[in-house]
Amino acid sequence: MARIILKGNVADVELVTDSEDGQVIAKCVTHDFGAGGVKAGECPWSERYDCMDDATEYAADHADTGRQS
């Protein structure tokens, strides 16, 4: 299984394909919380997408801005 990491201005988001249904799972793996510093595994953001194109487009927003939606 391939693993893709989107490296943004605020966070790193990991994209993996779910072997059961083929959806792409995006999960924040490292998030810069500003004055609180960079913390791995403390951001709860995660989303599922139908295809890799959608995942890279929409998950990039979290990586670049840190927004939760």
Q: pLDDT class for 40, splitting at 50, 70, 90? A: confident
**19 HSE (CA, 13 A, CB side):** 3
CA dist 43 and 2 (Å) reads: 22
Q: What confidence tens digit (pLDDT) does each residue in 43-53 have?
A: 899 999 999 99
The answer to whether the CB of 15 falls within 8 A of the CB of 3 is yes
Provide the domain count of the chain: 1
Residue range(s) defining the domain that contains residue 15: 4-65
Least confident stretch, 8-12, 37-41, 44-48, 62-66: 37-41
Report residue 14 as tokens.
């990991």
Report how far residue 66's alpha carbon sits from residue 52's, in angstroms, rounded to the nearest whole number. 20
pTM for the complete prediction?
0.85
Q: Are 2 and 17 in contact (CB under 8 A)?
A: yes
